[in-house]
A and B are shown apart, each in its own frame.
Chain A
Amino acid sequence: MKPVILWSDALIFLLVAALVLFFWRLRRDPQARERWRQVFASRLGMAAFTVIVAYVGIALLDSLHFRRALPPPEGVTTDEVFYDNQVSSVLDTLTAGMGERFERTYSAPFALRSFEKQTLKDDAGNTVRDFPPLRHAGANLDDPADKWGDVARRSAVALAWGLALAALLILPQWWLLRRSALPWESSWWVQGVLACLAVWVVSISRHYHVLGTDLGGTDVLYQSLKGIRTGVLIGALSTLVMLPIAVTLGVSAGYFKGWVDDVVQYLYTTLSSIPGILLIAAAVLLFQVYIDLNPDAFPTGLEKADAKFIALCFILGVTSWSTLCRLIRAETLKISQLGYVQAAHAFGVSHGRILARHILPNTMHIILITFVLDFSALVLAEAVLSYIGVGVDPSMGSWGNMINGARSELSREPAIWWTLSGAFLFMFLLVLSANLFADLVRDAFDPRTRLGPEAA
């Protein structure tokens, strides 16, 4: 086994580490702690956060990549180890080869036979056109009529294991947090349900395709799971690229005013008057050409796809900073007129120190709110971009690509609905949780939504 570290893998781990560090440091600021407590004091916030953490967890598991060692070819004795050209992730291992049980083409959820007729030879040797049985689904069954009974039995066993896993997960937390004032029960319920679901999905999909298969015969559920990493990464990385640009430009425009302000304003006015999708499409195509001209830099297919993906995140970030920049500029203009900044000037405090100690900390709430709100917008943006064909590489599982494929599938009769449903279900859950969480964060951090003492 040979570990492979893709650029995006490194970035996602760095990102998660940075977030954990950020929360850790927040513990020292009593005001911020109080606000976060407000976010987590609501059951909804707790549940939404748990779902988000689960998504991030899956994305992290999917970011531990490696290439399997292949057994030496028969009859050859050599010390050299050959590695599979296919890069796998820990998630692939955990899902017990869900992504390796290919069928020939489309099949409906839980189907035993293919969705499309094929020319077959029956036992008597006659040529007939019929729905061929699937290679993997239901291979364990002696009698196809017993399918649902088999599913039910396996589900019961899976549920038992799921409950056991849930108990294993929740009991230590319960022991640690039973005196906490926060509604951890909500989180535990969500964790329990997710644990049961995970065990069920893994065990059932050994013998069936829970969400069917797509045109290439890949399990749709597996593709949706792979889409999580793409979705989480695109949301987080693009925001991360955007933040420094928006914060630096916004704060300097609002603080230094004058020509700096003019330049920044012209920049974002120009940027926001170019249709965003056009700009992104052009940039992505340019990068595609670069990849095609430099094949040596990207040895495996996955690395190519990864480079393209990071470029996409970068481009999305570079084109979407203007809103946040405008907000921060306005807030900085306001803050720099306040007494404490004036007082700092009167004390001869340097510009850098004023920015770092007085202005940036007081625009934090805007940055935080935008980060959480933009996250879901960017996940959706990925779907739109992939739909028009300039998104992530088709070889990389993503919800946008699945939706893109669904275009032709839905127009068939009978329609193939499961690819779209799979992508929709997974995306919906993430975006919904992110939005709910964002709302709570905004309520807690936005000074305008909080009742001050003067309101009473």
Chain B
Amino acid sequence: MNQQADTLTLEGLSVELAETAQALVKDVAIHLRAGEIFALVGESGSGKSITSLAAMRLLPDALRVGSGRALMGDTDLFALPEARMQTVRGRRMAMIFQNPMSALNPVQTVFRQVAETLCLHTALRGAALRDRVASLLEEVGIPDPRQRMGFYPHQLSGGQQQRIMIAMALACEPEVLIADEPTTALDVTIQKQVLELIRELARSRRLAVLLITHDMGVVRQTADRVGVMYRGRIIEEASVASFFDAPKEAYSQRLIDALPGQDAFLPPVQAPPLLEVRDLKVHFPVRGGLLRRVQDVTRAVDGVSLTLARGETFALVGESGSGKSTLGRAILGLEATSGGEIHFYGTRIDGLDRGARQAFRRRIQVIFQNPYSSMNPRMAIGAIIAEGMLSLGVEASENRREARVAGLLERVRLPAECARRYPHELSGGQLQRVAIARALAVDPELIICDEPTSALDVSIRADVLTLLAELQREDGVAMLFITHDLSIVPGLAHRVGVMRSGLLLETGSAERVFTAPEHPYTRELLAAVPRVKR
């Protein structure tokens, strides 16, 4: 490729805290070229979002640009007065955000929102404006755009909302598009479509795209060049092909390795069944009208049967809304069942009252998705871990409990002094270890892991998964692993079940499902998983 002019150049950019002048982003240089997708990769807190906000001059009040230039042609964006900068934003540079639901105004129609930028920056009005909006929506792949223009955001799916966001960003034909984790909130199949759309638009419109992501698979599939950000600096920059072939930095290698391999499968486990679910149904009543009568039911889980052997990991895979979490909660007894049976060691445990349930609480435990919300912010870590022991009477004496807490912390590789600290003092990965320790505290035989790693950064995710696998080997505990992320399933689960709309479409050994999927939906899911190896 011959040396072409950059569309947007960041030079020596550093961003610091306004109060203490502590630098969060140091000496970052990025060259964005027309028609090219530059991926800025890093874990949370690495400064990648701050970099993009600084380029747009949209930093929060607590931060300020310390030094550096942002050049678009010959103009330095940092030197422009705010009024001029406003014409640059939207007109020459546009941004799309992670969560379309919160970035779209819920009380305005799609048309009003897309037209807003157009009205600000162009002279289009009336019918011409409607035509323009319709053609934009068509370009981003909204079917039947004339009709959907009158929709409100909640009437559209998550993928369509993100498409609307992209249409809004493209409305004034900007030269630069900044996409901050555009697909993190989306399901894999939709993520694939949205990424393809961004790629296509970059080619057809000669857009310079700055794609911010933490997902190496997304980088591999979408980007042309990649910059790895670590602690506020870009430590490595390369073309995608050479980066994945031979990363120069050890940290980059770690990021790539953190994506689990897709070809090593665990052998099936031969053991007596521990948990049996037979034709389980969980229906939620939909109430409405006068006196809030039940008018309809939402079939969250609609006749699912599965068995889980001792010491086995069963991965329950599905996209959001498929009912996989509800199934887990029903097994835990946190959700009332509407039909079917749940047996634990041959004893029926669904429909038990609070007292009778107590005996099984100890044997079935849970780890939740969001480590930040699954710890009471007002309790010390030690008390959090000890809570279950206390209420289930595992260790009666306080000294023994404390010793056990210390032992558990050691097992999940946290320093013992953590017991006296509070949740907000720990990182997400550390908190998830605490959650594991909390579950292990009562010696369970089955742990239901509800998306335990999806809130974590990739490198930490790998550590937590390794820890879980290790604990399973040592204790022989069975796991029901609920996830939307197919890429972590090989190497973790013995068997897999694919769920959609409350139904279990396919079950089988991990190897069988991954190598020879039977159901078309399973095939679609597998195809959408971003892979590092091509």
Contacts and interface: CB of A to CB of B under 8 A. Distances in A.
Interface stretch (B113-121, B160-168, B368-376): B368-376
B392 A339 contact: no
B334 A347 contact: no
A343 B392 contact: no
A357 B365 CA distance: 20
A398 B139 CA distance: 72
A455 interface: yes
A348 B366 contact: no
Interface residues of B, number: 38
Interface in B376-398: 376-379, 384, 387-388, 391-392
A361 interface: yes
A33 B240 CA distance: 50
Interface in B342-381: 354, 357-358, 361-362, 364-366, 368-371, 373-379
Main secondary structure of the interface of A (DSSP, over half): helix
B391 A350 contact: yes
Contacts of A345: 332, 334
Nearest to A349: B391
Interface string A310-325: 0000000000000000
Contacts of B332: 345-346
Interface string A328-362: 00000000001110111111111001000110011
B375 A339 contact: yes
Interface residues of A, number: 24
Given A349-B387, A456-B50, A30 B373 contact: no
A451 interface: yes
A340 B366 CA distance: 11
Nearest to A338: B373
A339 B24 contact: no
B479 interface: no
B244 interface: no
A358 B423 CA distance: 14
Contacts of A339: 368-371, 373-375
Nearest to A359: B376
Nearest to A32: B378
Interface string A414-456: 0000000000000000000000000000000000000101011
A348 B378 contact: no
A29 B376 CA distance: 14
Given A339-B373, A340-B375, A347 B422 contact: no
B376 A357 contact: yes
Contacts of B329: 342
Contacts of A358: 376
A348 B391 CA distance: 7
Contacts of B442: 347
Contacts, number: 79
A31 interface: yes
Given A346-B361, A349-B391, A456 B24 contact: yes
A432 B408 CA distance: 53
A451 B60 CA distance: 10
A338 B374 contact: yes
A342 B63 contact: no
B378 A29 contact: yes
B62 interface: yes
Interface string B19-48: 000001000000000000000000001000
Nearest to B61: A451
A343 B438 contact: yes
Nearest to A340: B376
Interface centre among A29, A342, A455 (most CB of B within 10 A): A342
Contacts of A340: 373-376, 384
Contacts of B387: 344, 347, 349, 357
B376 A342 contact: no
Nearest to A360: B378
B376 A362 contact: yes
Contact of B377 (A31, A346, A349, A455): A31
Contacts of A361: 376, 378
Nearest to A347: B388
A342 B422 contact: no
A358 B373 CA distance: 12
15 contacts: A29-B378, A31-B378, A338-B373, A339-B374, A339-B375, A340-B376, A344-B387, A345-B334, A346-B361, A346-B366, A347-B361, A348-B362, A350-B391, A362-B377, A451-B60
Given A31-B377, A344-B387, A453-B45, 12 more contacts: A31-B378, A342-B368, A343-B366, A346-B332, A346-B365, A347-B365, A348-B361, A349-B388, A357-B376, A357-B379, A358-B376, A361-B378
Interface of B: 24, 45, 50, 60, 62-63, 329, 332, 334, 354, 357-358, 361-362, 364-366, 368-371, 373-379, 384, 387-388, 391-392, 422, 424, 435, 438, 442
Interface of A: 29-31, 338-340, 342-350, 353, 357-358, 361-362, 451, 453, 455-456
Q: Which 4 A-B pairs have the closest CB atoms?
A: A339-B374, A347-B388, A348-B361, A339-B368
